[in-house]
Amino acid sequence: MQTTHNTLSENTRAQSIELLNKHLAAGIDLHAQLKQAHWNVRGPGFIAIHELFDTVADEVDGYADLIAERAGGLGGEAHGGVQIAAQRSFLVPYGLGIADEGLHVFAVSGTLAAFGQSVREAIDLAAGTGDAATADLFTSIARGVDHQLWLVESHGAPKSV
């Protein structure tokens, strides 16, 4: 760990850095999955969904950057290489051979939801170690992921209530 004047204990910082790197790997994976969907979506709503997936990918890229910078700010190292992300991501791999826009919306929604759930769990974990700032970062990301999930799910077939 790098020397820092950050007043959190080294143990707290180490736990937060581990939690941040876990989500950095998943964020990089999520970004790649969104680009996979963006490049391969087909259907009558192509342009809207194609552009939406690109916008969501940009948002997720921003989350990954915030996560990586927080790890660095705590004196840690961001483990953001694609090989590391592929090894450490907890997300289910994105299916190949998908073209239908509805199937992409379904797949992307599931992946966003899984990432969002883990981020919400990370809020409590970070707060439990005394790192309110990392918990706040994850809270902000959770709000953003929930918003992106709403936008993506809005392209799915409506269900009767």
* CB-CB contact of 6 with 63 (8 Å): no
For the whole model, what pTM was predicted? 0.94
pLDDT tens-digit profile, the chain (161 residues): 788 887 789 999 999 999 999 999 999 999 999 999 999 999 999 999 999 999 999 999 999 999 999 999 999 999 999 999 999 999 999 999 988 999 999 999 999 999 999 999 999 999 999 999 999 999 999 999 999 999 999 987 666 66
43: left (phi over 0), alpha (psi -120 to 50) or beta: left
Could you give the domains of the chain?
10-153 (1.20.1260.10)
Question: CA dist 146 to 8, 16, 50, 60, 140, Å?
Answer: 29, 22, 19, 12, 10
* CA 55/CA 72 separation, integer angstroms: 26
3-class SS letters over the chain = CCCCCCCCCHHHHHHHHHHHHHHHHHHHHHHHHHHHHHHHCECCCHHHHHHHHHHHHHHHHHHHHHHHHHHHHCCCCCCCCHHHHHHHCCCCCCCCCCCEHHHHHHHHHHHHHHHHHHHHHHHHHHHHCCCHHHHHHHHHHHHHHHHHHHHHHCCCCCCCC
